Amino acid sequence: MTSITENAMPVGRRAIRDEMIAFGIMTAVLMALPFTGVYPFFVMQGLCFALLACAFNLLIGYGGLLSFGHAMFLGTAGYVTGHALKVWGLPPELGIIAGTAAAAALGVLTGLIAIRRQGIYFAMITLALAQLMYFVYLQAPFTHGEDGIQGIPQGHLFGFINLSNPTTLYFVVLAGFLFGFLIIYRAINSPFGEVLKAIRENEPRAISLGYRTDHYKLLAFVLSATLAGFAGSLKVFVAQNASLTDVHWTMSGEIVLMTLVGGLGTVFGPVVGAFVIIAMQQYLAGFGQWVTVIQGAIFVICVLTFRRGVVGEIAHYFKRSL
Amino acid sequence: MDINLQALFAQLLVGLINGSFYALLSLGLAVIFGMLNIINFAHGALYMMGAFCAYFLLNVLGIGYWYALIIAPIVVGLFGILLERTMLQWLSGLDHLYGLLLTFGLGLIIQGVFQNYFGSSGLPYAIPEELRGGINLGFMFLPVYRGWVVVFSLAVCLLTWFLIERTQLGAYLRAATENPTLVRAFGINVPRMITLTYGLGVGLAALAGVLSAPINQVRPLMGADLIIVVFAVVVIGGMGSIMGSIITGFALGIIEGLTKYFYPEASNTVVFVLMVLVLLIKPAGLTGRTA
């Protein structure tokens, strides 16, 4: 049986060099984007989803764990950050910390439950847990149910960076994205990342080598949840609202789709995939439910013919690691 | 505590009906998983198709409920067979998770198409004349149709159990689940069995859809949330045993009904909470075999 990631990852100096060059290009493009006249809201939204997809990819691409409930971390962090900013009047930095910490705590709780089963069951359990959280947020008073938390103030980061200025906000979100991205990159290239890949390829063998695989899986899950939460907290400053859409299972599906399109188990795939899907939603917004149909069709096409994803195919063609 | 028996039994009945849908759907998921190693995420969408099929039969062709009970599962089952032949069969040998992703996509397509044409509101489907009205049982008023759904679902579940556990065909099926290569070596056409198994599982989902049409109305999203609850049911019961799926399905329906009476705020979440408890106490699920 082949592994969920068909993207072979050569390690070594050349791989690191390729990835560094790609990282440089990505950063340069993202730095230049606001000056090209692209709608900044769109790019910022894309960056938040890119970080979210990267966090999800850490689990599926390197740990072989398919989480079908990552929306719960996005939504939880969003609600907590939104509540902290609007009701408690906390400054942005503390709001982000509160939201991310809430997602991390939820990650510990759900991770402890979900890692008790593998493979297909793991996916079903995470989906069910996310649905549980959806109903909790539907009924909890502080989320304002169907209305969500609206008109969240953006405030001044560290007291002097005005986040209601779109260009300033853009660079803050970009910095947050790059920070999260580098944490993930560091994690997958560390000894911890190597053990995670070993678990993905053959868990019984990793156990027989003396690794306590449950600890590694839980750590990966919590790290992924925390960074997904961080993305959710950043998104609050962009969208200025927190709503049930972010906790619904369709959102979890979109996260999976972004990563699948970009390339499971590639470093840059989730970023590309996130922008592809966000752009698609933007341009097809007028087609109503056909967007759902198209998303479903992309799932089907990707699984049947395009399992490496955009970045995976490019990397495979040039025999590079991206 | 003051207990209103009338309301309690009414909620129990609702629970039993939901339980019959859980049982029919988780049964189909288990049978499909056994043969195809795929968790059929499109199950909810196919359940919805069953209901729509009954709706079309009645409103376009004038064919009533009793024929729909037979025709809808066959039509949707054939549609499932088409999906299996054209797409799912290419996934054998790949990681199980790809099957989940593919069927999730199929579910989105089916639901999206129906939403485009029928919106999100419900279409009414009348209860057949023979099953209208109700019986006064003394302690509660039993609507005939609801009683029929419970009895009929239970009969179909038991029939499926009998087919798989007690017949020659079922023996082949169980053998092919354990070791398809060996069963093929005995000259049995395993790929055809796989296709028919998918058709059977999907047909059961469509049958549940027809049964639910007069109760829950016919809506494009009627299966979307249901399938997630059924996943939790499957995690609780484990997919190793047919009888296990049936019992877990009905039991969880009853528990959900009781929760609706005693603590309605938790009625949406009780199945998920139970799943968490089962995972903490008995990680392999109630009926054993881990995947």
Spatial CA neighbour of A86 closest among A230, A244, A242: A242
For chain B, give me the number of helices (H) and strands (E)?
11, 2
Residue A8 confidence (pLDDT): 54
- Percent of chain A residues past pLDDT 70, beyond the cut: 96
* Residue A3 within a domain: no
Query: Is the pLDDT at B289 greater than 60, yes or no?
Result: no
Query: Is the pLDDT at A222 greater than 80, yes or no?
Result: yes
- pLDDT (tens digit per residue) in A120-145: 889 999 999 999 999 999 998 888 88
Residue A3 confidence (pLDDT): 59
Query: Is the pLDDT at B101 greater than 60, yes or no?
Result: yes
- Percent of chain B residues past pLDDT 70, beyond the cut: 98
Partner A contacted by B87 (CB < 8 A)? yes
Range A199-217 average pLDDT = 92
Confidence of residue A146 (pLDDT cuts 50, 70, 90): confident
- pLDDT (tens digit per residue) in B122-162: 899 989 888 888 888 877 788 899 999 999 999 999 999 99
Residue B288 confidence (pLDDT): 59
Total of domains in chain A: 1
In whole angstroms, what is the distance from residue B258 CA to residue B270 CA? 10
The overall average pLDDT reported for chain A is 90
Partner A contacted by B115 (CB < 8 A)? yes
Residues contacting residue B223 through CB under 8 Å, at least 6 positions apart: B43, B44, B45, B46, B47, B48, B111, B205, B209
ipTM score: 0.91
* Stretch (H or E) spanning A166: helix A166-188
**And the tokens for B221?**
């999203």
Cβ-nearest to A303 among B96, B105, B276: B105
Residue B291 confidence (pLDDT): 42
A-to-B residue pairs, Cβ atoms closer than 8 angstroms:
134
> Is the Cβ pair B39, A120 closer than 8 Å?
yes
**And the tokens for A204?**
């019984």
> Is the Cβ pair A123, B225 closer than 8 Å?
no
CATH number for the domain spanning A26: value is: 1.10.3470
Partner A contacted by B121 (CB < 8 A)? no
In whole angstroms, what is the distance from residue B88 CA to residue A24 CA? 40
List chain B residues with CB under 8 Å of A113: 276, 279-280
The overall average pLDDT reported for chain B is 90
CATH code for residues B5-92+103-281:
1.10.3470
> Is the Cβ pair A119, B275 closer than 8 Å?
no
Cβ-nearest to A296 among B87, B109, B232: B109
- pLDDT (tens digit per residue) in B174-223: 898 888 889 999 999 999 999 999 999 999 999 999 999 999 889 999 99
- pLDDT (tens digit per residue) in A151-194: 888 888 888 888 888 889 999 999 999 999 999 999 999 999 99
Structural domain boundaries, residue A256: 13-33+40-317
Query: Is the pLDDT at B290 greater than 50, yes or no?
Result: no
